[in-house]
């Protein structure tokens, strides 16, 4: 998918965010929607989802604050099966069952099955995703390409046709503000989109969250989140600049002048 250039003014705006808010490393208050059994490990600041769920399971931050923020950690699958793991961004409570949903879903499939293809993809969700609601409108949760509530926005640069491997840990860094979403896996920029790619004027506030569908034995580990400029290092900003070539030089300059010295705290 061709990347949409990020407006330089918007980049300057996120550079003016507070220099440092306290890094959040306690996710014990996150909430569950949909199916699934989630267990929190306070020492590792990790969440484990154990069930092979018949429909999507969401674990999200109830503060609903993600604009100007980044979240970092690792994801590991130890359970059987080969289905969907991933994240949601800009998610609001109840949107899994709402006909007015408006959030972004990164889904990573282990192997091909029905309409779900192996690999990592980014979707704009605009309708309920429960089994009952999708069936009532004539859609199928196993056929995302024809699901009226799902619009494909992007396919991962390196992992677009590569599934996750069992017992393999992958690091993730997700940066989000009103003018872009960037997703890094194992320090590689896999996805970067602007609001226009989703037919929006700006990305909206909402929650970071974790997502499983028909997949158990998933751990989201050592998770932290903070302001974008605290968790996303200079090299990642440079990679993001290369992904948005028209205004990329402005981003690179901001990275050099405004963000030098900040390093991811992991």
Pairwise CA distance, residues 224 & 101, whole Å: 26
Mean pLDDT of 49-78: 95
Q: pLDDT confidence of 21, banded at 50, 70, 90?
A: low
Q: pLDDT confidence of 16, banded at 50, 70, 90?
A: very low
Least confident segment among 135-144, 182-191, 209-218, 234-243: 234-243
Mean pLDDT of 187-198: 93
- Residue 22 has what pLDDT? 65
To the nearest whole number, what is the mean pLDDT of the chain? 85
- Residue 244 has what pLDDT? 57
**Which residue is associated with the tokens 């992958």?**
170
**3 state SS of 33:** strand
State yes or no: pLDDT of 241 exceeds 50: yes
* DSSP per residue, 151-220: EEEEE-TTTTT----TT-EEEEEEEEETTEEEEEETTEEEEEE-GGGGT-SSPPP-EEEEEEES--SEEE
Using a cut of 0.75, tell me whether the model's pTM lies above it.
Answer: yes
State yes or no: pLDDT of 19 exceeds 90: no
How many CB atoms are located within 10 Å of the residue 177 CB? 22
Mean pLDDT of 174-190: 95
Q: What is the pLDDT of residues 125-142, one digit of tens each?
A: 999 999 899 889 998 888
Tell which CATH classification among 3.90.550.10, 2.60.120.200, 3.30.830.10, 3.30.70.920 matches the domain 27-231. Answer: 2.60.120.200
State yes or no: pLDDT of 172 exceeds 80: yes
């Amino acid at each position: 998918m061709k990347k949409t250039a990020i407006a330089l003014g918007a980049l300057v705006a996120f550079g003016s965010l507070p220099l440092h808010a306290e890094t959040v490393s306690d996710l014990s208050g996150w909430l569950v929607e949909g199916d699934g059994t989630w267990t929190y490990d306070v020492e590792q600041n990790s969440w484990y989802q154990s069930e092979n769920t018949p429909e999507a399971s969401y674990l999200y931050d109830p503060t609903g604050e993600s604009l100007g923020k980044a979240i970092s950690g690792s994801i590991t699958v130890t359970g059987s099966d080969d289905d969907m793991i991933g994240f949601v961004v800009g998610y609001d409570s109840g949107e899994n069952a709402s006909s007015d949903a408006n959030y972004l879903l990164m889904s990573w499939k282990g192997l091909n099955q029905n309409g779900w293809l192996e690999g990592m993809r980014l979707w704009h969700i605009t309708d309920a995703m429960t089994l009952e609601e999708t069936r009532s409108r004539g859609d199928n949760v196993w056929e995302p390409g024809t699901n009226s509530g799902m619009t494909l926005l992007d396919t991962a640069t390196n992992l677009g046709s590569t599934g996750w491997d069992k017992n393999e840990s992958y690091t993730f860094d997700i940066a989000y503000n009103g003018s872009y979403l960037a997703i890094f896996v194992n320090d590689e920029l896999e996805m970067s989109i602007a609001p226009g790619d989703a037919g929006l004027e700006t990305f909206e506030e909402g929650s970071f969250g974790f997502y499983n569908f028909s997949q158990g034995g998933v751990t989201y580990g050592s998770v932290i989140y903070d302001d974008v400029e605290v968790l996303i290092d200079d090299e990642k900003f440079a990679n993001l600049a290369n992904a948005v070539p028209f205004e990329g030089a402005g981003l690179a300059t901001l990275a050099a002048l405004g963000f030098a010295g900040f390093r991811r705290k992991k």
